[in-house]
């Protein structure tokens, strides 16, 4: 069985879980692409590109020499998509892990598109992002990458088969998403929606401490605690934009952008 999960953090955690006694399948069968499907135009999505250009833009917002990293990840993405297409053709069972977050849901829809005519069984596990703590309170996860290896097997009872008719229905939603020219996709009231690039600007701006200097990493980290599922490179790109507009001033540049010291010029 192939396991599909969004991102290397989630993939690494799931691989560790599968090395334990709770999973019978091989940990090498975990596919964990990072396609950044919640960012950028989806109209031009030839799978063979692995979204190299989008990844390059996100990576370059954080570090200058990002071309090699982006191309390496794009190649890993291409390998994953090829394996999914091969699984659809040869009948290999596929289990897709997802969650009600934009990045995970976009990957789920893409998987259903690629597997809509699969000859083998396809199933899905939708993990709630609100998880109970031992004291009875709830913890809000931002993505499946925050799950510990010990947690994965507890969600196996949520696994549901996805029959061909259902896969075709989800594939139609992916086809509809391809026509979204929005620069960002978010979950609004449980529905995937395209929004403008400044959609989160107010929350990001509120994360910047007025009247004192701060690092770009502090600003992005604070914003991520309030904005589940938004790629950090996207938020870093917004800080770059504000610097170019004069809303922020660079007090101390750094090779690694998150170490750059910034200051607000507007209150």
What are the pLDDT digits (tens) for 180-193?
A: 678 899 988 888 88
pTM of the model: 0.91
> Rounded to a whole number, what is the distance in angstroms from the first to the last CA of the chain?
54
Greater confidence (200 vs 266) lies with: 200
Q: Say how far residue 221 (Cα) sits from the centre of its chain.
A: 16
CA distances 14 to 17, 35, 98, 135, Å, are 5, 18, 13, 25
**CA-to-CA distance for 191 and 251, rounded, in angstroms?**
41
Is the Cβ–Cβ distance between 101 and 190 less than 8 Å? no
* pLDDT score for 133: 76
**CA-to-CA distance for 74 and 146, rounded, in angstroms?**
23
* pLDDT score for 230: 86
Mean per-residue pLDDT for 125-146?
84
Mean per-residue pLDDT for 33-40?
92
As a three-state string, the secondary structure of 37-101 is CCECCCCCCCHHHCCHHHHHHHHHCCECCCHHHHHHHHHHHHHHHHHHHHHHHHCCCEEEEECCC
User: pLDDT tens, 148-158?
Assistant: 999 999 999 99
* pLDDT score for 48: 65
Is the model's pLDDT at 90 over the cut of 80? yes
Is the model's pLDDT at 22 over the cut of 80? no
Mean per-residue pLDDT for 202-220?
90
Q: Which one, of 246, 243, 204, 238, lies nearest residue 221 by Cα?
A: 204
Is the model's pLDDT at 21 over the cut of 70? no
User: pLDDT tens, 138-174?
Assistant: 887 888 998 999 999 999 999 999 999 999 999 998 9
* pLDDT score for 93: 95
Is the model's pLDDT at 65 over the cut of 70? no
* pLDDT score for 119: 93
Torsion angle (degrees, nearest 10) of CA 61, 62, 67, 71: -100
Vertex 229 angle, CA 107 and 242, to 5° = 120
**CA-to-CA distance for 171 and 31, rounded, in angstroms?**
20
Is the model's pLDDT at 37 over the cut of 80? yes
Is the model's pLDDT at 137 over the cut of 90? no
Is the Cβ–Cβ distance between 34 and 56 less than 8 Å? no
For β-strands 94-98 and 2-4, DSSP reports them as parallel
Is the model's pLDDT at 45 over the cut of 70? no
* pLDDT score for 212: 85
């Amino acid at each position: 069985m192939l396991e599909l999960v969004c991102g290397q953090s989630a993939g690494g955690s799931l691989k560790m879980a599968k090395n334990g006694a709770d999973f019978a399948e091989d940990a090498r069968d975990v596919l964990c692409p990072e396609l950044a499907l919640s960012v950028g135009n989806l109209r031009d999505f030839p799978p063979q590109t692995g979204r190299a250009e989008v990844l390059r833009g996100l990576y370059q917002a954080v570090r200058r020499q990002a071309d090699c990293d982006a191309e390496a990840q794009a190649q890993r993405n291409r390998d994953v998509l090829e394996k999914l297409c091969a699984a659809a053709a040869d009948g290999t069972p596929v289990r897709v892990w997802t969650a009600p977050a934009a990045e995970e849901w976009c990957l789920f829809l893409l998987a259903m598109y690629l597997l809509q005519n699969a000859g083998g069984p396809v199933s899905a596990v939708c993990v709630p992002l609100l998880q109970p703590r031992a004291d009875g309170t709830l913890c809000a996860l931002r993505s499946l990458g925050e799950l510990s290896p010990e947690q994965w097997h507890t969600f196996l009872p949520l696994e549901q088969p996805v029959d061909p008719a259902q896969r075709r229905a989800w594939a139609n939603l992916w086809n509809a998403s391809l026509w979204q020219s929005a620069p960002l996709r978010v979950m609004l009231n449980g529905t995937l929606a395209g929004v403008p690039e400044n959609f989160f600007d107010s929350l990001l701006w509120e994360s910047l401490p007025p009247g004192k200097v701060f690092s770009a990493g502090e600003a992005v980290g604070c914003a991520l605690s309030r904005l589940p599922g938004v790629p950090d490179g996207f938020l870093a790109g917004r800080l770059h934009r504000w610097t170019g507009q004069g809303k922020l001033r660079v007090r101390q540049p750094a090779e690694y952008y998150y170490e750059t010291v910034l200051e607000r010029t507007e209150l």
